[in-house]
Structure formats: C-alpha cells, structure tokens
Structure 1
Amino acid sequence: MSKSPADNVISLYREHAAAFEKNRNHEFIERTWLNRFLELLPGSRSDVLDIGCGNGAPMARYLIQNGCRVTGVDTSLPLLARARASLPQQRWIAADMRQMPVTGPFHGLLAWHSFFHLSPEDQRPMFATFRRLAAQGAVLMFTSGTRLGEAIGQFEGKPLYHGSLDTREYQELLSASGFTVVRHVDNDATCGGATVWLAKWDGGGRFGARSDT
C-alpha cells in the first residue's frame, strides 16, 4: 500500500532540507506575531519549546536574541544539524511531535507552520500534549487552517500535506485544555495569509477569545 501525503511529510523535509532553507521567506514577516508571543512570556529568560523548529531560522534565532532559552524539536536531521551548528547553546532534539520526548514545563510553546502538517486525527490529541508541557501562565502559538479538512500543496514537485480542524473545534480544544485565546486571526494578510492562534494557559478552561476573523 502506498503512503498517503500525510505520511510523506517527514521524508520530504529530510530529503529537501537545502531547498527548504533556500525557499524560506527571508522577509521575516512573522516578527509581529513573535513580538506578541514574547510580550506574554513571564520573563526575559523564558524556556520555549519550538515544535517543528527546522534549522532554527528565523523563529528560534529571534527568540534567542530576545533572551529565550530554546528547545527545538524536529524530524529533519539535516535541518537540526544546521540549527546545532548556528545556535549551539540551545537544545535540538530529533523527534516526532506526536511522541514528544521532552517533559517541560515550558513558558512558551510554538508550533509555527508545523502543527498543520498533522492530520485532523493527529492534531486533536496534541492539545493534551500542549497542556502537559505548559508551565503556569504558558503561552501557546500555532498556525492552522480555517475549516475541517485536508489540503495538498507542492514542495520540490511532490505533494505536501496540510490538515485542519474548524475554528470552533480549535476553540473547544484550547478551552478544554485550559488555554484562553488571546488573539486569533484568519488568513492574516500581513503574515503571508497565515491563520494564527495565540493563547495563554490559565488552567481555567474558559473562553476569552479576541478573534479577528
């Protein structure tokens, strides 16, 4: 039986690490969202888990420049090797986010353009993982789609899988895990059309979302 596109995401990023680095948007359009993330962290020496960290640029590097201690998790060994070479003082771990080997707790959890490569079925249990890894008051930021379903893009001429839940289910899963949504924007035109969730763990499980959809 042939693999589905969802099963091929890991091998794509392993085989085409150089192409990923070359094609990565170098304008750093994510800076505004990272600044919002940083503003919610409890202090200047916060521990942040970068889930799907790639080569550490530009996201992890910016967090480090702003005083964070970063633990990066990714399945692409070539990209992790680049992260270790350029940012050797941080922790870089080869692992699948669905079997997270770290224990935390972390003050910040970041899954930027990585979480949405999981199928809807694999995304749902990740919220329990976010909760397990979160310190009191932890900040969570991730990107997603806007509707339940799957979409197939292209990377180096091969299908690249994306999955999504719908907005209501993301809200419900965040709330059930004790995260309050601080900001949510669908298809942010200032950030390459990304749909972004920024939430803070308070243990209460209540809604408090500001949604700019």
Structure 2
Amino acid sequence: MDTDGYEPVGTPPTDPAAAAGRDRTGQAEAFDAIGDRYDEAFPHKEGQITAGGWAIAELAPGSRVLDLGCGTGLPTARQFTDAGMRVTGVDLSAGMLARARHNVPEAEFLQADVADLVEGGPLAAGSFSAAAAFFTLLMLPRAEIPGALTAVRDLLAPGGLLALGMVEADVDDVSIPFLGHTIRVSGYLKDELRAVVEDAGFEVIKEMSYTYAPASTDVPPEEQIFLYCRRA
C-alpha cells in the first residue's frame, strides 16, 4: 500500500465523528466477493508467519489466542492451532469466516467488527494470552484505531502479547482499488504507528519491515511493518 503505488478513489471524510460511525458493510461485502483471491494475491506471508512464530515461542501450549481479522484462517489461525493454542478468530466478512471454519475447524470463529470488541462485548476482558492483528486495523479510520488497540489490550491478560502487522502509508480512510473491488484503508509512517501502539498501553519489543510485492498486478508493492508487542 505504498502511497506512490496506487491512486486513491474519492476523498476521505473530513469529520472524524462521521468516519467513526461509518457503516462497514461495504468492506465486508468486498471481502466476501474477494474470497480465496486474497490468499492467491498474497501467497508468501513471511512477515506474518515470523511474527506468529515469535508469539508461539513465548506462549505455553493451550494458551488462548485471538486472531483479529482472521480472513480465511490462513496462515495465522492454522499456525497457532497447529502449535497447540486455542484460537478464536474474528472477522467482519461472513464469506471469509466460512473459509476459515473449513480451513481451521479446530478453532472458534466469530463474526464481529473489531470496533465491537469493547468492554461488555462478546469476548471477556483479560481472557487471551496473545492477539494477532495482521492488516486488520488498516481497515479502520485513524480516529478508531487507538480505541481498537485499547480494546485489544483490555482483552489480553497482564503481560499478554500482540503481533501487529500494518502497511506503511500516510493515509486516513481513503478508498483504493483492491482485487477488483473498492475498500477504505488507513495507515501510518513507522514512527507514528509505534507511538499510537505505545499510547494504547503496549511495549514495543521489536520492529520488522518487509518490502512485499503481491502476486497480483491488481495490488501494488507495499512496505509491511510488524510490531512485536507486550501489554504494558
């Protein structure tokens, strides 16, 4: 999602309150339609698998892990499940969840917006040892990302881990073409992202970056950032 590598479609809303109240039905419908093409466009997820491996090495077998924006369940829910973890995957797309349940039948999957995972929501506070959020928060307006990170922090037990993946881009809630559909995305530059994560109550233990060229010509090359974090 290099800002030099794609042309935004339309303009972002100027009112943060309007952005926060956006109906994300269109986002879910886009990913319902994209389906397996997502994994075909992004076949090699080195950074994602490496970050998941870091968390697995830190966790005891049987630990509860939350996979936010789980998509098809590949590779993350599958990776954690194969390592003996109890996985709960969350996604807004019913189509993606159907694929995830097929790919990782041992895991539990829940249809929900990340913004709904607040106190009093469907998941209990402090009930997870780790969370993975790979390219999930970029689907939110910037105005919502700090709150989503705080909600994830609250779902983690003290000292719980967060493996976070984002695309480096200085954009806020802009529409872009993606695999034949239009989605809205946000992003930060590296230092900004780190500050947002730390302000939400996480210690950033390690940062990794990868230049990624998707297999599909419908998606431009992008700089992926992975933060290895612990609940402070």
TM-score between the two structures when normalised by the length of structure 2: 0.74
**How far apart are 1:18 and its partner, in Å?**
3.5
Query: Residue 92 of structure 1 aligns with which residue?
Result: 109
User: Any idea what the Cα deviations from partners look like across 1:19-69, whole Å, max 9, x if unmatched?
Assistant: 3244341x342322221222233x122111000001111111011111111
**How far apart are 1:148 and its partner, in Å?**
4.1
159, 182, 189: which one pairs with 2:205?
182
User: Any idea what the Cα deviations from partners look like across 1:78-114, whole Å, max 9, x if unmatched?
Assistant: 1111221232221100111111231242111111011
Query: Residue 19 of structure 2 aligns with which residue?
Result: none
CA distance in 1, matches of 2:42, 2:211: 17
Query: Residue 143 of structure 1 aligns with which residue?
Result: 165
User: Any idea what the Cα deviations from partners look like across 1:157-186, whole Å, max 9, x if unmatched?
Assistant: 223322024444433443343311011134
Query: Residue 154 of structure 2 aligns with which residue?
Result: 132
Partner of 1:82, secondary structure, is: helix
User: Any idea what the Cα deviations from partners look like across 1:102-159, whole Å, max 9, x if unmatched?
Assistant: 1242111111011111111111211210221011111011122445423554223223
Q: In the alignment, residue 140 of structure 1 is paired with which amino acid?
A: L
CA distance in 2, matches of 1:176, 1:156: 34
CA RMSD of aligned residues (A): 2.7
Aligned pair in 2 of structure 1 residues 28, 169: CA closer, same or farther (>3 Å)?
closer
Partner of 1:48, secondary structure, is: strand
CA contact (8 A) 2:92 2:112 kept: yes
Partner of 1:193, secondary structure, is: strand
Query: Residue 219 of structure 2 aligns with which residue?
Result: none
Identity %: 23
Query: Residue 207 of structure 1 aligns with which residue?
Result: none
134, 139, 145: which one pairs with 1:117?
139
Partner of 2:62, secondary structure, is: coil
Partner of 2:186, secondary structure, is: strand
Gaps spanning 5+ residues in structure 2: where? 1-9, 14-21, 214-221
Are residue 55 (structure 1) and residue 55 (structure 2) matched?
Answer: no
> Per chain length, whose mean CA-contact separation is higher, i.e. which structure has more relative contact order (CA < 8 Å, sep 6+)?
2
Query: Residue 178 of structure 2 aligns with which residue?
Result: 155
TM-score between the two structures when normalised by the length of structure 1: 0.80
Are residue 81 (structure 1) and residue 98 (structure 2) matched?
Answer: yes
